[in-house]
Amino acid sequence: MPAPVNKFKARLRTGETQIGLWLGLGEATTAELCAGAGFDWLVIDGEHGPNGLRDMLDQLRAVGERSSAVVRVRDDNRSVLKQMLDIGAQTLLIPMIESAAQASEAVRSVRYPPGGVRGVGAALARASDFSAIPDYLETADEQICLLLQVETLAGAADIDAILAVEGVDGIFVGPADLAADMGHLGQPGAPKVRRLVRDLLERIRQSGKAAGILTFDHDLAREYAAMGVEFLAVGSDVTTFRDGLKTLRAMF
């Protein structure tokens, strides 16, 4: 029996747009609620969200098969990536990638030898269904989806080389940090930033890799969908909850 099929990765290859939501509250119950709302994918945010290893594990279980979980780690620390894979994450999003060399090391981190350096210990972990998947080691690499986040001028400058790295499934453009690096802190909608973001998305798609982005601007989200962006996040649990509460309070 092989490793479970990564439905998110399989759909990326079709070129269709998958609509996602960001999970920043770090709560399994919230993740379970969002998983039942019909989103194609959910980001469990370990970079800015209050999430530890067991929090991530609880949310992966809560999401289950109702949506595709994408785990954003805090950085490209190899030991952390190994743990996330072992608890059952099949799609990883790694922030702050700035070079092809860094991208190549990320690929090595998520693959077993000889193609990579992922430590062999999944027999004791959820990833292999606690050894119930006998050929997990032989089949795991094919189902791992690696998404890299480009969100600095250095990363943008090296985008073509990053895109050329074999084993990278998609590139996520981060407008907020990119805006800050461009001197527009807190202004991801600045015209100069939006032009660069659009250029990056187009270059990513032209390379044959999947392009992704998060925007809270619904008109802009529709523009990105029309472009063919393959994985598009259109909001978060935090803002949806907050805005819903404010709207309800305003009614009375």
Active site residues: 48
User: From CA 197, how far away is CA 68, in angstroms rounded?
Assistant: 25
Secondary structure, 3-state, 111-138: CCCCCCCCCCCHHHCHHHCCCCCCCHHH
